[in-house]
Structure 1
Amino acid sequence: MSRGRRYRPLSPLREHVRESFWVAPFVACAVAVVLAGLTGELDQQLFQEVSAQTEDAEALLRFTSAAKGVVSTVSSAMLTFIGVVFSISLVALQMAASQFSPRVLRLYVRSRLTKATFSVCLATFVFTLLVQLTYEDTTDPSQAQTAQVFSTVVALALVMLSLALFVLYVQATLRLLRVPHVIDRVTRESVAVLAQYRRLVPEADLPGDLPGELPGEGLTLLHEGRAGVLRDVNIAWLLRLARKHGAVLHLVPRIGDFIAPGTPTVVVVGGTPPRPWRITRALNVGVDRTMHQDLSFGFRQLVDIAIRALSPAVNDPTTAVQAVDRIHQLLAMLAPCPMGELRHRDKDGAVRLVQPVPGWSATVDLAFTEIRVCGGGQPQLTRRLVAALDDLLRITPPERRGPLLLQRELLERAVGEHVADPQNRAFALDPDRQGIG
């Protein structure tokens, strides 16, 4: 159960900004322009205050003359420096896509450190370029109008900050090229999504799996926007819309589903139906899934990493075991949690939006099926899968053990198909939390 006040209208926008790479550099360049104007004014005021004293004015001009070469060098070198950072990013993205999964590239795009490094480097270049425009060719204090003291100090500070961020950026990039760190990042994001889901669905309010059937009566509204993957939904907007029309909206697609023009999006029960374009406005449709509201996307990324590691070209069952470790963790978190649908309520406590989410059985199938099929002949993986299933069977409520028991039975069949020798088959089905520890 969730109430409308729990949702901030800007929360989807915040996630969309994080998924965009251009926003931070654009803002940083705008700040650099403002900062250049501000330091220029301060430099002019400083020179006017000391212009009456010839010796001080000459000292400021000598400082500016010496700093011109430094700032000019920084301005020309910073663009090359940006190219180096960009090249490192491209190499890292290519290696991550080939070794792990194309889905994990979003980790690099969302990285705050990567954006900060690019932003500060671009801001330094723009700032030093604008500072050079204010330089004067005279060395005569009587003819000079300004001396770039604050501008030079700020430019040097930005250079130091750029170098520090570059060192941190290289370290972070090297960490993200290692499988355990990528798996850990995906898991931490998944845990955050699951924690949000558990806050929205208190166990005391909704025991057990909720029915996912759509109502028998109601008007079905069709999608009128572009085709793509449903990335997230503006819950606050739909709650206000349903309350305004006195209706209950049953969302048809789940987060992560592909929708096209004409696809049913909402079943309106009671009240007056809103216009379809108002529903479309609340649906964020794109070319790829995000972690914002998608319960299954974390499992999808971990499974992709595992099955790529199990491919004949890679043949790295240890990486697959590391992915299974995290899948085991996420399923253990979901085991006692109600699944099937979310019932969002307005500020008066009335249900206004019913949102489908993956059920327990579908989540277990997503977590284990492809890994089981691809790794049935890898004893390290099968032993870890058996250990994970046995542990989940111990902590899962009795009504949810059916999908786990089915996966256990199918895993035994898969091992039997790949391993003919009885002793090797028994070894492959012996539970081990390290695979072969």
Structure 2
Amino acid sequence: MGNEGHVSSWRQPHSSRRPRALSPLREHLRDTFWFAPTAGLVCSVLLWWASSALDMALVEHLQREGRYELLRGLISVVNDAKTIVTTISSAMMTFIGVVFSISLVAVQMASGQLTPRVVRIFIRSRISKLTLTVFLATFLFSLLVLTSYESERNARRVESVPVVQSIATMLLVGLSLLLFIGYVSSTLRLMQVGPVVDRIAQESLGMLVRLPVGSADSVPLPPETSRIGHQGHAGVLLDIHAARLVRLARRKGVVLRLIPRIGDFLVPGTPVLAVHGGAAPRRFTPGYTVSVGVERTFHQDLGLGLRQLSDIALRALSPAVNDPTTAVQCLDRIVQLLASFAGRPLGEVRYRDRRGVVRLVQNVPGWTDLVDLALAEIRGCAVHAPQVTRRLFAGIDDLLLIVPAERRAPLLRHRTLLLQAVERTAPSADERRFATSPDRQGIG
């Protein structure tokens, strides 16, 4: 009771969104490529079982009504369809192998031209997973349907005529063809720079919507009493299970603070959670609430979108590629993301329990950190590309009109550094004047 009263001063008049319990699990499943096809195979077995039961019910009804002529007609049609089902079952697996071999080549080309981190876009693509799921489900379903065909049939003694199963097979094949067209179209789009940077921006904006609003006040935390270290394998901090941490902190009457940021690399023993206002929970393992992996994800990582856009722009500005137009497309989305962050409280987010008491504090990048991440490296590589410097000046000027006055300093700093770099690099006054003229299209 003493600890509960000690942290009751952390009630805030504005309550943040409460964390959702299944959010990390859903995001982790989206980052896998096995879950959807596996679920599709299970559904195909259930569909075959249901359609087989309907076929048996249909045969029993026709036999009971004495409609043997109609039943013989259905048997004839089904025997003709058997050839089609056999062809489907033998060709579908080959079709799957050819399609996805080509897709892997496309993914490799996109990762080589842009950045290896865009491979995750293909993994999370819903159309890719749905296409593979339907292809595999069609293949398995057609094999199961073949077991329902009988070599010899008598209308008076037949137990099942796979009419519904044959129709379902044809429908699955038609759906597979439609999805194949959509999949090819989607894959070709993701090989282009514009759709890729747009997808990165949309992922980042979606994550920003899910993230609880940061706190603008400076209410101090209760005194820190202990720290809990990382006990699992080394890796990147992917996300935290905020709902579990909030429940744990509420039961113990403490406030937990996440020490590293999402995206930091952790080694065993690294402090992960700081306990404020009470004793640390006994027998608590951070692995139950903290996810560590090999590569950053968009789930709770505020800076990942800017990191990926910066990587693509830097590769485009390298002497080996020399593609300033791609860098300008990345800057368009970078300005969009920074404008979305402009009016949002940053630096930390606070999770509350059902009573509105702060139970978990998460450290997130501040405004200066995000501006430096978005502009510093591109600014250093853009001095020899007037198209990029002009877009940078235009983007910074647009942001200066949007952001609050207290957030203008890092933008002005980058503008001054860019201006100085261009003045040192450009040999003539006319070239300096041209390279420092703001232009939203770079060189429109």
Instruction: State the one-letter code of the partner of 1:175.
Output: R
- Aligned partner of 2:375 among 368, 372, 376: 368
1:221 matched to 2:231? The reply is: no
SS at match of 2:335: helix
Q: Counterpart of 2:168?
A: 154
Q: How far off is 1:347 after superposition?
A: 1.5
Q: Counterpart of 2:5?
A: none
Q: How far off is 1:157 after superposition?
A: 0.5
* CA–CA distance in structure 1, aligned partners of residues 124 and 256 of structure 2: 32
Residue correspondence of structure 1 range 350-429 to structure 2 within 5 A: 350-429=357-436
Gaps of 5+ in 1: none
Residue correspondence of structure 1 range 316-335 to structure 2 within 5 A: 316-335=323-342
1:139 matched to 2:153? The reply is: yes
- Aligned partner of 2:264 among 238, 257, 275: 257
Q: How far off is 1:85 after superposition?
A: 2.4
- Aligned partner of 1:206 among 216, 220, 225: 216
Q: Counterpart of 1:182?
A: 196
SS at match of 1:218: strand
Instruction: State the one-letter code of the partner of 2:46.
Output: V
Instruction: State the one-letter code of the partner of 1:123.
Output: A
Gaps of 5+ in 2: 1-11
Deviations 1:410-429 (A, max 9, x none): 11232234322222112111
Q: Counterpart of 2:37?
A: 25
Instruction: State the one-letter code of the partner of 1:40.
Output: S
- Aligned partner of 1:40 among 33, 49, 52: 52
1:50 matched to 2:62? The reply is: yes
Q: How far off is 1:276 after superposition?
A: 6.2
- Aligned partner of 1:311 among 302, 312, 318: 318
* Identical amino acids, percent of aligned pairs: 51
Q: How far off is 1:219 after superposition?
A: 0.5
Q: How far off is 1:143 after superposition?
A: 4.5
Q: Counterpart of 1:15?
A: 27
* CA–CA distance in structure 2, aligned partners of residues 390 and 156 of structure 1: 58
Residue correspondence of structure 1 range 279-318 to structure 2 within 5 A: 279-318=286-325
Q: How far off is 1:148 after superposition?
A: 1.1
Q: How far off is 1:215 after superposition?
A: 7.5
- Aligned partner of 1:92 among 97, 100, 106: 106
Native 8 Å contact 2:314 2:381 kept in 1: yes
Q: How far off is 1:320 after superposition?
A: 0.3
Q: How far off is 1:216 after superposition?
A: 6.4
1:168 matched to 2:182? The reply is: yes
Alpha-carbon RMSD across the aligned residues, in angstroms, is 1.9
Over 3 Å counting, the alpha-carbon distance change for 1:5 and 1:322 in structure 2 is closer
Native 8 Å contact 2:388 2:442 kept in 1: yes
Residue correspondence of structure 1 range 341-356 to structure 2 within 5 A: 341-356=348-363
Normalising by structure 2, report the TM-score.
0.93
* CA–CA distance in structure 1, aligned partners of residues 36 and 176 of structure 2: 15
Q: How far off is 1:379 after superposition?
A: 0.3
Q: How far off is 1:374 after superposition?
A: 1.4
* CA–CA distance in structure 2, aligned partners of residues 43 and 191 of structure 1: 49
Native 8 Å contact 1:375 1:382 kept in 2: yes
Native 8 Å contact 2:223 2:277 kept in 1: no
Deviations 1:373-407 (A, max 9, x none): 11111000001101111222222222222211111
* CA–CA distance in structure 2, aligned partners of residues 391 and 117 of structure 1: 42
* CA–CA distance in structure 2, aligned partners of residues 338 and 4 of structure 1: 12
* CA–CA distance in structure 1, aligned partners of residues 16 and 346 of structure 2: 20
Q: How far off is 1:196 after superposition?
A: 3.1
SS at match of 1:232: strand
Q: How far off is 1:227 after superposition?
A: 1.2
Native 8 Å contact 2:227 2:280 kept in 1: no
SS at match of 1:337: coil
Instruction: State the one-letter code of the partner of 1:166.
Output: F
Q: How far off is 1:91 after superposition?
A: 1.7
Deviations 1:246-294 (A, max 9, x none): 1111110101111111000011112221146433211111111111111
Normalising by structure 1, report the TM-score.
0.94
Deviations 1:322-355 (A, max 9, x none): 1101111111121222111112221222221111
* CA–CA distance in structure 2, aligned partners of residues 334 and 42 of structure 1: 56
Q: How far off is 1:150 after superposition?
A: 0.5
* CA–CA distance in structure 1, aligned partners of residues 27 and 224 of structure 2: 35
Moved more, 388-397 or 104-113: 388-397
* CA–CA distance in structure 2, aligned partners of residues 67 and 343 of structure 1: 62
* CA–CA distance in structure 1, aligned partners of residues 406 and 15 of structure 2: 28
Moved more, 79-88 or 8-17: 79-88
* CA–CA distance in structure 1, aligned partners of residues 433 and 335 of structure 2: 22
